[in-house]
Amino acid sequence: MVFTHADQRKSHEHPLPALESFDLSGQVVIITGANVGIGYECARYMLTHGASKVIAACRNEKKTKDAIRVLLDETKREDGAFEYWHLDLASFASVRAFAAKFLESGLPLNTLISNAAVAGVGKVLTEDGLETHVQVNHISPTYLAMLLYPALKRTGSIAGGPPARIVGVSSEGAFFTDFPESASPRPVKAVPERVYVPPEEDFSYFNTKLLNVIGFIEYAHRIPASANIKIAVAGPGLVNTELGTKDAYGNALPKRTRPTYGTKARTAEDGAKTIIVAATYPVERVWAESDSDVPFFSSMKSLRELPVTAQDEDVRKRVWEDTLAHIPLKEGEVDGCFV
């Protein structure tokens, strides 16, 4: 049964249960957008449960370092346990530089939480000449995951060790868009060509989050089983974070949430719980309950089905090829399984 608005309203009627605790000692975690909201709450959990290093991959240095200072004090962790590394998903050069720095560090990569996103910023182009929602929410996260593949593979391939993980933070909105662009030979290029008028602007965000789901499914299908990398996507639900307060129309999301979607927004702490489940709970629990090898989690549970469009192999192939067409890949820059 496909996830619906009614399912989402029902899932928001009661607070989510408390998270279970798992020992993350020795693990290295990258969280994009870890300086605020859901990403910040994910970082708090990782640090509290012993992760050796959490890298906050963020654009704003001051804001991130302030957040790091607060969280290190709160969790009583040592300097270096939570670090700022610059990453601007609106810049392919920044994505490339971040990945190069990480690969050169020689650090393992146990978990990549692809969390950072934008919504409702209007039709703004990035320095690469692409529409911001599409690049930040889909193309750059896909590019980053490809570039970090060697570190994920090296970590997951350790004999007797657990798999490395990628958790793509998506949105239940991926189920709510009809995505007519799926019929286009270049579906990624077609998304920003549609004219959105508020409140239809939400569907621009939903479409990029559907692309995000499709991208991670295709990524999972392309890597060999020997890499020992597990991938999941997770929807945090409607969450009251900066994602909805800094849009082109003012403090829009919190004001529109109840009349538009019939439900109250969750706190960032509650919103992060579903991502944390996918990132830290035992492999046999996270990947056992879904009919897909890339499960979609919502309200801390795996949904039985993926968005309908994401189940279409032909659509996934065209989305992947069009995604690569937007990235100025250098010769040999990413593993051959991706190209």
On the 0-12 / 13-18 / 19+ scale of CB atoms within 10 A, 307 is: buried
Work out the angle at residue 241's Cα, subtended by the Cα atoms of residues 239 and 244, and round it to the nearest 5 degrees: 90
**Which residues, 6 or more positions from 330, have their beta carbon under 8 angstroms from its beta carbon?**
none
* DSSP SS3 for 230: strand
Structure tokens at 240: 């009251």
From 45, 205, 219, 261, the catalytic residue: 205
Cα atoms found within 13 Å of the Cα of residue 113, Cβ hemisphere only? 34
Which residue, chain included where needed, has tokens 């490809």? 146
Angstrom distances, CA of residue 307 to CA of 16, 46, 75, 170, 277: 23, 29, 38, 11, 20
What is 95-137 written as a DSSP string?
A: HHHHHHHHHHHT----EEEE-----S--S-B-TTSSBHHHIII
The answer to whether 219 is a known catalytic residue is no
Decide if 164 contacts 155 (C-beta within 8 A): yes
For residues 216 and 319, give the distance between their C-alpha atoms in angstroms, rounded to a whole number: 11
Q: Which residues pair with 233 in a beta bridge?
A: 168, 296
Angstrom distances, CA of residue 285 to CA of 138, 211, 297: 27, 26, 12
For residues 280 and 275, give the distance between their C-alpha atoms in angstroms, rounded to a whole number: 9
Phi, psi of 96, deg, nearest 5? -65, -40
List the catalytic residues: 205
